């Protein structure tokens, strides 16, 4: 866990509630920095200001009242979810309202949690524990990485199936591929749309949907999938804790089952190796009943460029070749990428002596 303070934006106009929220955070033992905005208009200005500077840091959490002066909280929530930068930030709605209308608005724009303000001090103090627990779950479970591994008896599968946006989500389009599922799916995720809504929106506008497969995961780990009725068997999809698996033209249901079991069993492996191990297990269970030709592995971390992007477009043993390329990536690439430009450090490291020394030290540490 990072030792840096938890950055919280509080949008609240009631002075007593601001005081109580501060007390609750302190009582929970949180190290935090509170950025106070006293009305909805100031909140919208703050969001726009951060949006205009890609290097400006984002908060870890937003605490939002709904009943605000000038601009109400539901409009602020909508603006957050429509922003490509802010959409993935957790929003905790803390309000005295319990009206169905307000709850509906909060659900529509995917607030992380809805809490009613309490007149009892002890219940109000529990807010700090809620936020503290959220932080622990976020830091332990949320690595910030998305990965897609794929293999098939078709040329260059990595060119069209996997689509990932850092910090936003991942989309895979399969069977009779529709590339716009990936392109438009990521756009919808950036708007804060839930994966199920993304899937329903995409297939609703596609008369060929019964010949396609699609699965979607967002930054919160939510998953939705679609397997069209005209996909060739065996076909289907399954999901587990933090993963989604889909396939068509498979030797049988055991391909997905064994892939899932291997993924769950190898949780100690580095992410890339874990994905390949799972795919290998599925192949051993029969894989694509037509045979083998191509495979790909795509992983994104915090940056908008990929951590790892490997493709085997035409090979007699594509997963074996993918595994070899992943091993080669660990010789220098995985150590070199830490010196590349990032949003936090736009120039990266350009001193070749520092780069070479860092790579050699990392390699030596693995021996």
pTM score, whole prediction: 0.64
Q: How far apart are the first and last CA of the chain?
A: 26
Q: Is residue 352 part of a domain?
A: no
Q: Do 276 and 171 belong to one domain?
A: yes
Q: Report how far Cα 204 is from the mean position of its chain's Cα atoms.
A: 24
Residue 72 lies in a domain: yes
> Are residues 248 and 184 part of one domain?
yes
Question: Is the model's pLDDT at 102 over the cut of 90?
Answer: no
- Between CA 163 and CA 186 the distance in angstroms is 8
Higher-confidence residue of 195 and 121: namely 195
For the segment 302-323, what is each residue's pLDDT rounded down to a tens digit? 889 999 999 999 999 999 999 9
**Which of 83, 108, 141 delimits the end of a domain?**
141
pLDDT at 142 over 60: no
Do 251 and 162 lie in one domain? The reply is yes
| 120-129, 132-141, 290-299, 350-359: range with highest mean pLDDT | 290-299
Residues 135 and 166 in one domain: no
Q: Are residues 234 and 193 located together in one domain of the fold?
A: yes
Q: Please check whether residue 296 lies inside any domain of the structure.
A: yes
Q: Do 29 and 72 share a structural domain? A: yes
Task: Report yes or no on 338 lying in a domain.
Answer: no
For position 205, what pLDDT does the model report?
Answer: 93
138 pLDDT band (50/70/90 cuts)?
very low
Cα distance between residue 11 and residue 45, in whole Å = 12
Which domain covers residue 111, as residue numbers? 6-141
Question: Residue 272 belongs to a domain with what CATH number?
Answer: 3.60.20.10
In a domain, 335, yes or no: no
One domain for residues 220 and 155: yes
Q: Which of 44-48, 93-97, 326-330 has the lowest mean pLDDT?
A: 93-97
Same domain, 40 and 157: no
């Amino acid at each position: 866990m990072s030792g840096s303070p938890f950055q919280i934006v509080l949008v609240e106009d009631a002075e007593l509630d601001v005081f109580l929220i501060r007390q609750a955070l302190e009582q929970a033992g949180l190290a935090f920095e509170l950025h106070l905005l006293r009305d909805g208009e100031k909140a919208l200005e703050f969001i726009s200001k951060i949006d205009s500077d890609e290097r400006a840091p984002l908060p870890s959490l937003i605490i939002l009242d709904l009943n605000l002066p000038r601009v109400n909280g539901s409009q602020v929530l909508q603006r957050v979810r429509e922003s490509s930068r802010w959409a993935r930030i957790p929003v905790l709605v803390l309000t005295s309202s319990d009206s169905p209308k307000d709850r509906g608005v909060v659900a529509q724009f995917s607030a992380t949690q809805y809490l009613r303000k309490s007149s009892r001090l002890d219940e109000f103090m529990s807010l700090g524990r809620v936020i503290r627990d959220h932080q622990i779950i976020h830091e332990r479970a949320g690595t910030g990485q998305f990965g897609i591994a794929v293999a098939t008896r078709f040329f260059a599968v990595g060119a069209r199936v996997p689509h990932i946006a850092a910090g936003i989500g991942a989309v895979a389009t399969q069977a009779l591929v529709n590339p716009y599922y990936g392109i438009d799916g990521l756009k919808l995720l950036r708007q804060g749309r839930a994966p199920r809504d993304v899937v329903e929106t995409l297939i609703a506008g596609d008369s060929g949907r019964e010949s396609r497969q699609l699965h979607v995961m967002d930054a919160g780990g939510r998953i939705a999938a679609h397997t069209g009725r005209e996909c060739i068997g065996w076909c289907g999809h399954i999901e587990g804790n933090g993963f989604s698996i889909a396939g068509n033209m498979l030797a049988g249901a055991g391909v997905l089952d064994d892939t899932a079991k291997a993924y769950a069993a190898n949780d100690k492996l580095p992410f890339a190796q874990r994905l390949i191990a799972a795919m290998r297990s599925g192949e051993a269970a029969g894989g694509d009943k037509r045979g083998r030709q191509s495979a790909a592995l795509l992983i994104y971390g915090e940056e908008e460029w990929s951590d790892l992007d490997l493709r085997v477009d035409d090979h007699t043993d594509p997963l074996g070749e993918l595994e070899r390329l992943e091993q080669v990536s660990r010789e220098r690439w995985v150590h070199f990428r830490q010196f590349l430009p990032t949003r936090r450090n736009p120039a990266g490291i350009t001193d070749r002596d520092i780069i070479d020394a860092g790579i050699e030290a990392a390699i030596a540490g693995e021996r």
